Structure 1
Amino acid sequence: MTTFVDRVELHVAAGNGGHGCASVHREKFKPLGGPDGGNGGRGGDVILIVDQSVTTLLDYHHSPHRKATNGKPGEGGNRSGKDGQDLVLPVPDGTVVLDGAGNVLADLVGHGTSYIAAQGGRGGLGNAALSSARRKAPGFALLGVPGDLQDIVLELKTVADVALVGYPSAGKSSLISVLSAAKPKIADYPFTTLVPNLGVVTAGETVYTIADVPGLIPGASQGKGLGLEFLRHVERCSVLVHILDTATLESERDPISDLDMIEEELKQYGGLDRRPRMVVLNKIDVPDGKDLAEMVRPDLEARGYRVFEVSAVAHTGLRELSFAIAEFVAASRAAKPKEEATRIVIRPKAVDDSGFTVVQEEDGLFRVRGEKPERWVRQTDFNNDEAVGYLADRLNRLGVEASLMKAGARSGDGVAIGPEDNAVVFDWEPTVMAGAEMLGRRGEDHRLDEPRPATQRRRDKQAERDEATQEFEEFKPF
């Protein structure tokens, strides 16, 4: 059974926004008390957050589909719908978030670091929020916006200071078991280690983490063996420690050729060959191993490596090795720039940025793309003429109609608002005053006006009769 997973594809869905409510306040002796429809609630977000207690992506391997809750619809009496609950997904420290094309969306390092993988949809406005001096009684409300749907890839890159690399059965797991309290599986056959093992080492005042990476073999950077699956765990390490087997039973292998092979694989993977490194000649407790270590040590030191002779079984040379690694780690930490306080970068839009684009496609269709017009279309109930008129007014005020005319659109041309797979298409009819304005200011209900005194009503009616009589007298034939 799989117990360690470091790469998964995750399908996340944020919650949909709740619909706004179209309602009219009614009470005794006041059947038309004005609009009182509440707003819909916001849909829940899907949030990835680093949790130190999580060390694998196994849960998401078994359950790759995750969804936040939807916002509740608004109700009458100016009652807004409840917001959807955010879905918080804990991930290991060092998780990288990628899109389907392999582009990095976020690099989550450090406890509590978070990333919104899918944004919840906005709640629709109720007719109470849509009312104004010009639109006193809207007979419609806005629909909630659907939440984001995202297919993302989570890739774990172990956060460790030191990585032990080497051939299978070179003694990496044995070494990490004696340097730290880690208890990896150890055996004398290749590919014993199937997952990276982490351990914590204390050397004087320096505390560092150390990881043994499953065995590398020739061609590992191209996917042969297990190397490609776990080379990513080396990327964050400050120091690479080559573990060379001085007691190998394979006649065609020796420490120098093993080192050259591993170095070539690190170079082919990209960037890893420039990391600080040291060499550990392991298994010197074996007589032939001790002799071979003394033979190859001058050659390795001539290449510029710090070389240590150790025996994980006999616990020989371990103290010197652990303090030498601590020096490398401390120097690497000191060389890193100090973390600056979080800065908020404000990038204002260009002065001539209208917030949307109008493009004529090859088939003659004019396509409108932009965050606002696309969201407004999703919020419109097309079964309600008043809501459609309201949408037309908003698009007209935004400048969509003027941009269509500038792009060469004519009456009857097809116009699509939104992406190809989810667009609203209609035949365009240019107007000077669009939608609700053209239809006589929809949403006004004079029954909601304050009643005039009886004397004023009589005067108004008499004025209307006098005006009509005067017009008749002016046009009466002689």
Structure 2
Amino acid sequence: MFVDKVSVELRAGDGGNGAVSFRHEKFIDRGGPDGGNGGRGGDIIVVASNRQNTLAKFRFQKEIVAPSGKAGAKRQKAGRSGQANEVFLPVGTMITDLKGNTLADLVQEDQKVLIAKGGRGGFGNAHFKSSVRQTPRFAEKGDPGQQIKAVFELKMIADVGLVGLPNAGKSTLITSVSNARPEIANYPFTTLIPNLGVVDIHDSSLLFADIPGLIRGASLGKGLGDEFLRHIERTKVLVHLIDANSEQIETDYKVIREELSAYKIDLSQKPFVVALNKIDSLSDEQIEKQLKILKKAVGKNAKVIKISALSRLNIKPLLEEIYKNVEQYTSQQEEVAIDEEALVRITLDESEKSWEIKQTGKNYQVTGEKIEGFARRTDFENYEAVARLKNIMRKMGIMHELGRKNAELGSKIYFGDKSSGYIEY
């Protein structure tokens, strides 16, 4: 089954907790703390693979999980880190969060992207030994792994996209010019999944995609809808295939242009070539009549070529025109890429953002990535661990700011989303 869009939940592994332990061996007096650090949680890494061509395996697998790190142990033994979970996806898969923000765009074979990061392991009490704290009786908890609700969307990466109304002959054309062998029949929506074919021309290989037929109103969900148009978002050039036997040839062309324009990304701006197909079924006089009507509708926007995909008539001139457009598009994109490289973009690193304090009644909420991380790793049941957190807050200036806000003795101080715990002022 061809599946090109799925929703999944990604859960990277949690970090292991640090250990609280003291060395107890014969003849060794005051052995000191020897609790090891927790292991790191496993990451989730997505890998682009040409061996995958659908997202069908995620139709029922709604969760992708990486193992958590193990807890530290005595004798300063670190916990084992969770193994990374590599998820293989088809080349052309775009991953977004539920707000539509792009997390990864897999555009080439073996491309790897760390999509969900495993949690950091907590430090054991051996880590906190110092000249002033010789017997620390606390350790850190491990950080939770990242959890992301994501959408995998497959957008095929083809050089040329074939679009046209049902039965315009797209499947016949892709069979005629390439190694593709799609199902061909004389009824609407014969093609229910995009077909791909490779065309060799001038020492180059162009990948063609045959997109399921459009109808008027596809952008409103009629017929197969316009969902399959996502597969030509990345194409360089489009071929508009028009059936020469149609009695409303100008309308057919306009429907294609309107539906491409109505798509969420205006696909009508892409370079295109128009092919008047099935001319072998018409007389010379009829061909010239239809060609004249179509050229008038197209104007100077694109070249119109009359062909017969079935008998391979004028296929070579069509491929030459397509190749010329692909080359022009590629050179233009390279110029844009060079211009963009010259730009220097300065952005604020959100991870370095400081803290903020919000007052709610007598209580306070402290937010900020760094302090929230310390709070998550703190065992709030352990007096020494809480004392360490307060010391960190003092060094960061948080305690001073709470004093300026007239925090009262016993006021509760929460962190982030309040799930980690609280301390009293």
**TM-score w.r.t. structure 2 length?**
0.92
Deviations 1:368-422 (A, max 9, x none): 11112212222122222222222222222222212222344333433321115x2
Mark the runs of 5 or more structure 2 residues left unpaired by the alignment: none
Deviations 1:418-460 (A, max 9, x none): 115x25245x32xxxxxxxxxxxxxxxxxxxxxxxxxxxxxxx
Residue in 1 that maps onto 2:310:
313
Inter-CA distance 89–380: structure 2 relative to 1 (3 Å threshold) = same
State the alpha-carbon separation in 1 of the partners of residues 81 and 12 from structure 2: 12
Mark the runs of 5 or more structure 1 residues left unpaired by the alignment: 430-478
User: Is 1:334 aligned to 2:328, yes or no?
Assistant: no
- Say which of 245, 248, 253 aligns to 1:247: 245
Which one is further off, 411-420 or 70-79? 411-420
Q: Is the 8 A contact 1:36 1:128 kept in 2?
A: yes
Helix, strand or coil at the partner of 2:279: coil
Q: Say what the alpha-carbon RMSD is for the aligned residues.
A: 2.3
- Report the residue type matching 2:206 in the other structure: Y
State the alpha-carbon separation in 2 of the partners of residues 348 and 354 from structure 1: 8
Helix, strand or coil at the partner of 1:337: helix
Helix, strand or coil at the partner of 1:175: helix
Residue in 2 that maps onto 1:293:
287
Helix, strand or coil at the partner of 1:209: strand
- Report the residue type matching 2:125 in the other structure: N
Identity %: 40
Deviations 1:28-51 (A, max 9, x none): 111431211111111011111211
- Say which of 265, 272, 280 aligns to 2:275: 280
State the alpha-carbon separation in 2 of the partners of residues 354 and 96 from structure 1: 29
User: Is 1:218 aligned to 2:216, yes or no?
Assistant: yes
Q: Is the 8 A contact 1:20 1:73 kept in 2?
A: yes
Q: Is the 8 A contact 2:249 2:294 kept in 1?
A: no
Residue in 2 that maps onto 1:356:
355
Inter-CA distance 292–153: structure 2 relative to 1 (3 Å threshold) = farther
Q: 1:116 Cα shift?
A: 2.0
Residue in 2 that maps onto 1:47:
45
- Report the residue type matching 1:287 in the other structure: L
Residue in 2 that maps onto 1:231:
229
Q: Is the 8 A contact 1:130 1:138 kept in 2?
A: yes
Aligned residues: 417
- Report the residue type matching 1:317 in the other structure: N
State the alpha-carbon separation in 2 of the partners of residues 292 and 108 from structure 1: 47
Structure showing greater radius of gyration is 1
Inter-CA distance 346–147: structure 2 relative to 1 (3 Å threshold) = farther
State the alpha-carbon separation in 1 of the partners of residues 194 and 288 from structure 2: 30
Inter-CA distance 112–266: structure 2 relative to 1 (3 Å threshold) = same
Residue in 2 that maps onto 1:446:
none
Q: Is the 8 A contact 1:310 1:317 kept in 2?
A: yes
State the alpha-carbon separation in 2 of the partners of residues 237 and 46 from structure 1: 29
Residue in 2 that maps onto 1:65:
63
**TM-score w.r.t. structure 1 length?**
0.82
Helix, strand or coil at the partner of 1:62: coil
Within 5 A, what are the aligned runs for 1:10-409?
Answer: 10-248=8-246, 253-269=247-263, 270-287=265-282, 291-302=285-296, 303-304=299-300, 305-337=302-334, 355-361=354-360, 365-409=363-407
Helix, strand or coil at the partner of 1:336: helix
Q: Is the 8 A contact 1:51 1:92 kept in 2?
A: yes
